Amino acid sequence: MSRNVALGQPTVGEAELAAVSAVFESGWLSGAGPACLAFEREFAPVAGVEHVLATSNCGSALHLALLALGAGPGDEVIVGDYTFPATGHSVMWTGAKPVFADVRPDIWSADPAAVEAAITERTVGIVAVDVFGQPADYDELRAIADRHGLWLVEDAACSSGATYKGRQAGSLADVAAFSFHGRKGITAGEGGALTSAREDLVAHARKLHTYGIAPAITREGAATLPVPSFDELGYNYRMSDLQAAIMRVQVERLPELLKARTRAAEAYAELLGDVEELTLPVALEDRTHPWQSYVITLDGALDRGAVGVALRERGVGCNFGTYASHVQPLYGETTACPTSADLFARHLAIPMHANLTEDDVAYVAGVVRDVVTSPESRA
C-alpha cells in the first residue's frame, strides 16, 4: 500500500469553519475589524506583551517594525544569515542595507560574536531570527545592542509558543514579528503579527498598516462624519477578519499543538539518534522549542538531492532547510558566512506537524534511516 506523510500540514476543522461562518454573518470580512481586534487581545498573552498588531504576513510585520524604529536609506541593519530572505528583504524595503552575520553551528541563530564584529558607524539595529522557532541568544544580543546604542528586532516567524529563559517569544526584543503561514505552528494559511511592549511602536505601525491613517473601525459609531487625512506614506498590510477568526481558534489550540509537535520531535530523537550519517537538531534546556520544522543535518558525504528524491519516492515529504541569505544574488557582494553556507548545503527538513501519528513518525524514521545509510545516497 502506498503511503504519503506530508512535510507540513495544518490542524484545522469544524471550530475554524464555525469561526469563519460567524464572520460571514457579521458582515465585516475586510481587514482590521472586530475579529482582528479580538485576535490581538488573545495573542498578547502568547507573546508576553500588551501590544499586538495583526498583519497580512510576517514580512509586512517586519517592514512595519523597521519603519517604526526609523530604519532608512544610508543605514545598516545586521541580520542573522540563516533565514528565509524575507528578513533581509524587509530591511531593503526601508532603503537600509542588510548586513549578514554568521550563525551558531548548533541552533543556527545569529552568533553574537559575529553580530558584534559586523557593527559599523552606519549600524542602527539588529534583526535576530528564531530559526525554525527556537529563540536566539537574546541576553547576549541585548547587551550588544545596548552597548552600541542599537535597537533589536525578533524575527519570530516560526516561534509561536516558544520561550527563552522563561520569557515568551514576542517579548524578547524591542519588537517582534510572527508568521501564520500554512506551515507554521498556528496558521490561517497566511497572516502575521507585530508585538511589542512599546505602545508607541505598535501605534505607529498600526497607522502605517492602513495606508497611513487610522483603521476604519476607529470611526465606527462616530457622532459626526470623520474624514481622515494622509500625512505619512502607508501600506495595505492588514489581516482580514476571516483570517483573524481562524487565528482565534488556533490560539486556543496552541498548547495541544505544541505538545503534539514535541512528542514527534522526541520520537525522532529516539529513533534516529544512533544514525551516524546525520546530526539531529538541538533543543537547548533554557528554551522551549516549538518545533515548527524538524531539520536534520546530513553528513557531507551524502548527496542531499539523491536523499530527497529517495525519501519522496517512498512517500516521505522533505525539503531543504532554509537559506544562507548572503549567497542570494539580490544582496550583491557580502561578507562570507561559512557556517550558514554549510547548513544551507546539508540541511533537510522531514515531516513535522501536529497531525503526525506514532506510526507516521516511526515510518518516516525508518525510511530516513534506510535512505541515508544506502550506498546510493553517497555523493
Residues 235 and 373 in one domain: no
The total of other beta-carbon atoms located within 10 Å of residue 319's CB is 16
Residues 214 and 276 in one domain: no
Residues 166 and 232 in one domain: yes
pLDDT digits (tens, 9 = 90+) for 18-35: 999 999 999 999 999 999
- Quick check: 1 pLDDT over 70? no
Residues 166 and 130 in one domain: yes
- Among candidate residues 216, 236, 251, the one where a domain is terminated: 251
Range of the domain at 224: 14-251
pLDDT, position 208: 98
Confidence band, pLDDT 50/70/90 cuts, at residue 246: very high
| For residues 129-143, average pLDDT | 98
Residues 177 and 245 in one domain: yes
Active site residue 184: yes
pLDDT, position 222: 87
pLDDT, position 29: 92
Does 7 fall in a domain?
Answer: no
Residues 102 and 27 in one domain: yes
What string of DSSP letters covers 45-90? Answer: HHHTSSEEEEES-HHHHHHHHHHHHT--TT-EEEEESBS-THHHHH
- Among candidate residues 193, 217, 251, the one where a domain is terminated: 251
pLDDT digits (tens, 9 = 90+) for 300-325: 999 999 999 999 999 999 999 999 99
Q: What is the pTM of this model?
A: 0.97
Written as nine digits, the cell of 298 is: 546530513
pLDDT, position 327: 98
Residues 217 and 320 in one domain: no
Number of domains in the chain: 2
Confidence band, pLDDT 50/70/90 cuts, at residue 2: confident
Residues 241 and 289 in one domain: no
| For residues 187-216, average pLDDT | 97
Which of 97, 165, 184, 259 is flagged as catalytic?
184
Residues 220 and 317 in one domain: no
Q: Do the Cβ atoms of 233 and 204 come closer than 8 Å?
A: no
- Among candidate residues 223, 251, 279, the one where a domain is terminated: 251
Report helix, strand or coil for 261. helix
Does 6 fall in a domain?
Answer: no
Residues 119 and 232 in one domain: yes
